[in-house]
Amino acid sequence: MTAVLVLNGPNLGRLGSRDPTVYGTGTFADLVGACTALGAELGLQADVRQTDSEAELLGWLHAAADAATPVVLNPAAWTHYSYAVRDAVEMVTAAGVPVIEVHLSNPGAREGFRHRDVVVGAVTGVVAGFGFDSYRLALRAMAGLVTAAAGPTGAGG
């Protein structure tokens, strides 16, 4: 199984009680369960984490760059203003390691301040607007990227 980090930024630990009309009724524990279950089906060992500390997220991203661990990342509000998160993400992707940005909601369809994404220029791809399915779609895409990186299987690559 390939290890994948599923990293979540501020306030996402409040899923379930935080504005369910936007983020749904599933809790963070439910999200962990959904990601680990689908990950196992896809051959990915999903390590799902959440932090309200930007320094902690930066440390996780540095470790991902050093260990070449693929990342699914919901930067939450940091998406919109954290150049530090953007630069740390770039260290991962510059090392040839995929980072897929996810959002439960579609920030582009919400308040103006959410339209600015300072992280997106450093990631491999983005999935937004599908609730927990944003993570499931990202994990499926990640499984494809990891398989492709492992090389041809003899059945057409």
In the complex, the residues that contact ligand DQA under the rule CB under 6 A are 11, 74, 76-77, 79, 103-105, 107, 114
Structure tokens at 8: 């979540």
Q: How far is the CB of 109 from ligand DQA (least distance, A)?
A: 10
Which lies closer to ligand DQA via its Cβ, residue 38 or residue 138? 138
CB 107 within 8 A of CB 79: yes
Cα 52 from chain centroid (whole Å): 15
135 in catalytic set: no
Look at phi and psi of residue 135 and say left if phi exceeds 0, alpha if psi is from -120 to 50, else beta: alpha
Give the residue with the Cβ less far from ligand DQA, 70 or 135: 135
Query: CB 55 → ligand DQA: shortest distance, Å?
Result: 18
C-alpha span between 156 and 154 (Å, rounded): 6
Closer Cβ to ligand DQA, 99 or 104, answer by number: 104
Taking the complex as a whole, how short is the minimal distance between the CB of residue 59 and ligand DQA, in angstroms?
Answer: 20
Alpha carbons 57 and 45: distance in angstroms, whole number = 19
Please say if 83 is a catalytic residue. Answer: no
Q: Which residues are catalytic?
A: 23, 103
